Amino acid sequence: MSLLSFLLDPANWPGGGKIIDLLLQHLWYTAAAVLLGAVIAIPVGILIGHTGRGSFLVIGTSNAARAIPTLGLLVLVVVLLGTGVEKIVPVLAVLALPAILTATAAGIGGADREAVHAARAIGMTEGQIVAQVEWPLALPLVVSGLRSATLQVVATATVAAFAAGGGLGQLLISGQRNNDYPQMFAGAVLIAGMAIVLDLLLGGVGWLIGRNTRARRAAAEAVRNQAVSPTNRSEAVT
Q: Give residue-wise pLDDT tens across range 1-48.
A: 577 778 877 777 765 557 888 888 889 889 999 999 999 999 999 998
- Fold for domain 16-237? MetI-like fold (1.10.3720)
Entry pTM? 0.81
Question: pLDDT band for position 233 (50/70/90)?
Answer: very low
State residue 217's pLDDT score.
63
Which range has the worst mean pLDDT, 68-77, 89-98, 173-182?
68-77
Residues 207-214 have a mean pLDDT of 80
What percentage of the chain reaches a pLDDT higher than 70? 76
State residue 199's pLDDT score.
92
Residues 212-226 have a mean pLDDT of 59
Taking Cα atoms as reference points, which of 140, 132, 154, 141 lies closest to residue 198?
A: 154
State residue 208's pLDDT score.
87
Q: What is the 3-state secondary structure (H, E, C) of 122-154?
A: CCCCHHHHHHHHHHHHHHHHHHHHHHHHHHHHH
Task: Report how far apart, in Å, the C-alpha atoms of 11 and of each of 168, 188, 190 are.
Answer: 17, 19, 17
| Distance between CA atoms of residues 209 and 214, nearest Å | 9
The CA-based diameter of the chain, rounded to the nearest angstrom, is: 88
Question: pLDDT band for position 230 (50/70/90)?
Answer: low
Residues 67-92 have a mean pLDDT of 71
Q: Where are the chain's structural domains?
A: 16-237
227 pLDDT above the threshold of 50: no
Q: Where are the alpha helices (DSSP H) in the chain?
A: 5-8, 19-51, 55-67, 70-81, 85-109, 113-121, 126-129, 135-156, 169-177, 181-227, 230-237
Taking Cα atoms as reference points, which of 79, 95, 96, 78 lies closest to residue 87?
A: 78
| Distance between CA atoms of residues 102 and 63, nearest Å | 11
Question: pLDDT band for position 146 (50/70/90)?
Answer: very high
State residue 71's pLDDT score.
65
What percentage of the chain reaches a pLDDT higher than 90? 20
Q: Which of 63-67, 70-74, 170-174, 205-209 has the highest mean pLDDT?
A: 205-209
**Do 167 and 29 contact (CB within 8 A), yes or no?**
yes
CA of residue 80 relative to chain centroid, distance: 28
